[in-house]
Amino acid sequence: MLPSERRWPIAQSLEAVIRQLMTERLTLPVPVDEISDDASLFGGDVGAGDVGLDSLASLELSAALSDRFQLLLDDVEPSDFRSIRTLADYLRRKNVAADDVDQ
């Protein structure tokens, strides 16, 4: 199965939904299954478990989140994009639940 064909369970968590979006929309330097919730998404050391995405990837991920959850990400801070966990926490602060996903 190709990574883009994998479907994460909706009810599982926002972290799982973010992983699905990353798989669908980004070219990742590591398999999404190997990215921990706390791994640094931007910068960092890819060999040490960080992802090392660039600014273009942050724009693409923002657009994917905006599209999927029908959100305007006007108050997002760089620290909100630090990791999968911080992105999920940001979405929770916006009162988004994994069940809100528009499939």
Domain range for 84 is: 3-97
In a domain, 103, yes or no: no
Residue with tokens 């960080």: 50
Segment 49-68, tens digit of pLDDT: 788 888 899 899 999 999 99
Q: What is the pTM of this model?
A: 0.78
Report pLDDT digits (tens) over 36-45. Answer: 999 999 877 7
Is 57 within a domain?
yes
Torsion of CA 88, 65, 57, 80, to 10 degrees: -30
How many residues would you count in the chain?
103
**CATH number where 78 lies:** 1.10.1200.10
* pLDDT of 5 higher than 50: no
Indicate the number of domains in the chain: 1
